[in-house]
Structure 1
Amino acid sequence: MSHPLEPIFALQKKDRKLIKLLREIRDIPKRKSDIELQLSGSKKKLEMALDSKKHTEATLKEQELEVEALKERVTKYKNQQMDAETNEQYRAFVKEIGAVEDEIKVLEEKEIKLMEDLEAGKAIVAECEEKLSHEREGISDELEELDERQAYLEEKVGKMKADRNRMAAECDKQLLAKYMRILQNKKDMAIVLVEEGGHCGGCHMKLPPQVVNDARNPTKIVGCNFCGRIVYNPPYGG
């Protein structure tokens, strides 16, 4: 007389493989995210370099506008100087023009420094972009492999589920329902073999002798007193 747990025990082997494959599929997005996180440092450096370059450009533009405004003042003073009626007025315009031209000189020196900083900033941005591009190329193969692995696993899981459903149709409905409840609760195994020495193959606790004997009887379905899993003790050792 065959044991009614035999087809469900065979089904469990299929389910365990499915659980393993589904867990791997579920973990792939996290693995991809971890790989992409490798770029976070380079992305941050590029963002900082771009912000610094943008700030330098804005400051340089402000300096240029200020210099332009000062030059317009010089032109205005020179026009007014030509209309000076006394030497004193003339000398006053000369003094004003000199002061403004000194301001222009200071600002132009700052402009030169800013332009040097801008060129250096552009070089840093280019370097960061090149490094990021190189790193992206480096991880693209890994991401592609994971995508291919996911597609392969999903196809395999689809076939295994179809096969699994055929196997489930041959199992006792009540036992199958009980098996599914325990499997959903335990997440790993619902049916366990009796280990050497009469221990539960799930929680490894010592089973009562009666449970060990009943686990071999095809007319009885028994569970572990400790973990609640179905205990199976086939004469051939599973």
Structure 2
Amino acid sequence: MATQKKTAEVDYSMQEKILALYDLQKIDSKIDEINKVKGELPLEVQDLEDELTGLKTRIDNINAEIEELNTLTKQRKREVDQAKIMIANYKEQQNNVRNNREFDAINKEIEYQELEIELAEKRLKEYAAAVKGKKAQYEEADSAMKERAIDLSAKKAELEGIEAETAPQVEEYTAQAERAKSKIDDRLLAAYDRIRRNVRNGLAVVTVKRDACGGCFNRIPPQRQVDIRQGKKVIICEYCGRILVADPDSAEE
């Protein structure tokens, strides 16, 4: 909608659109150069943030597992206490048995409770060992998270410093780019953006220098160079697909 309005207000010639494309390319190249100063910092910051998120999730899971083991430990300890109480009660009952059969039956119950205690105590040792292992994992993950947090803070500070320093330039270049785009229709802008994404160094618009394409350096035929200088239509390099424009710094023939 916005682009349709701008083209309706001012009917720019094809030559003006092509020159605007060339200006846009120069502006975008300046912004690319500024972004190069950031280097891998944006990716490094993102990677560290992702790693910290993963470490936090791991720590949360470890804490949940420790909590579950602590709950099981309490449960087993209650079972041991209950079994000891039952054993004491059974031994008390043995003092009042009337025959050997009752004595043997109670004795079997005592042996069963003793086995339950033995099994519960075995589980308690396993839980204790598991908790110890989980705590070691927690310490390792917590230490790693603290180190990554320090790294992230440093990387963010470095990136923010660069962005703050270059912000006025980027803002000015962005405004210039918008002014150039206002002269170019949507179809041509879409083609420009597509080429920029697919070529090295983001150079979608290049000049013809010494009879060759400024992108791939293949020779451009004389008649095609004439068409480029006239600027009546968009000329694409048949070798690399870039948009070709006449070098405005070269002397006119």
Assess, with a 3 A threshold, how the Cα gap between structure 1 residues 43 and 161 changes in structure 2: closer, same or farther. closer
Larger radius of gyration: 1
Shift of 1:6: 6.8
> What is the alpha-carbon distance in structure 2 between the residues aligned to residue 23 and residue 107 of structure 1?
63
Report the aligned-residue RMSD: 4.3
**What residue identity is the alignment partner of 2:84?**
K
**Which structure carries more relative contact order (alpha carbon 8 Å, separation 6+)?**
2
Which of these residues, 245, 249, 252, is aligned with residue 231 of structure 1? 245
Which of 217, 221, 232 aligns to 2:231? It is 221
Decide whether aligned partners of structure 1 residues 236 and 59 sit closer, same or farther in structure 2, where only a CA change above 3 A counts. Answer: same
**Residue equivalent to 1:209:** 222
Which residue type is aligned with residue 153 of structure 2? S
Identity in percent: 24
How many pairs are equivalent? 226
TM-score normalized by the length of structure 1 = 0.66
Distance in 1 between residues matched to 2:32 and 2:221, nearest whole Å = 31
Q: Paired residue for 2:145? A: 132
Cα distance in structure 1, aligned partners of 2:26 and 2:153: 36
Distance (Å, rounded) in 2 between the aligned partners of 1:95 and 1:180 = 90
Structure-to-structure mapping, 1:49-60, within 5 angstroms: 49-50=62-63, 52-60=65-73
Are the counterparts in 2 of residues 212 and 233 from structure 1 also a CA contact under 8 Å? no
CA deviation vs aligned residue, 1:88-115 (integer Å, no higher than 9, x gap): 6446535643553354245335534543
Q: Which residue of 1 aligns with 2:11?
A: none
Distance in 2 (alpha carbons) for counterparts of 1:195 and 1:184: 23
**How far apart are residue 158 of structure 1 and its match?**
1.9
The aligned residue for residue 193 of structure 2 is 184
Residue in 2 that maps onto 1:158? 171
Secondary structure in 2 matching 1:85:
coil
After TM superposition, give the deviation of residue 41 of structure 1 in Å.
7.2
Structure 2: state its 5+ residue gaps. Answer: 1-14, 197-201
CA, structure 1 residues 237+73, in 2 after alignment: closer, same or farther (shift >3 Å)? farther
Residues 82 and 205 (structure 1 numbering): CA distance in 2 closer, same or farther, change over 3 Å?
same
Give the direction of change, closer, same or farther, for the CA distance of 1:80–1:203 in structure 2 (3 Å limit): same
Deviations along 1:130-185, one digit per CA (max 9) or x if unpaired, are 2322232223211333344445555532222234456x49x9x5xx5597465334
* SS state at 1:63 partner: helix
Q: Which runs of 5+ in 1 are unaligned?
A: none
In structure 2, relative to structure 1, the CA distance for the partners of 1:181 and 1:39 (3 Å cut) is closer
Contact 1:77–1:96 (CA under 8 A) maintained in structure 2: yes
Cα 1:204/1:181, change in 2 over 3 Å: farther
Q: Could you say which residue in structure 1 is the equivalent of 2:45?
A: 32
Instruction: Look up the SS of the partner of 2:245 in the other structure.
Output: strand
Alpha-carbon distance between aligned partners in 2 of 1:118 and 1:130, rounded to the nearest angstrom: 18
Tell me how far apart the structure 2 counterparts of residues 102 and 191 of structure 1 sit (CA, whole Å): 84
Find out whether 1:13 has 2:22 as its counterpart: no
The Cα of 1:119 is off from its aligned counterpart by: 3.9
Deviation of the 1:28 alpha carbon:
6.9
Please report how far the alpha carbon of residue 232 of structure 1 lies from its aligned counterpart in structure 2 after TM superposition: 0.2
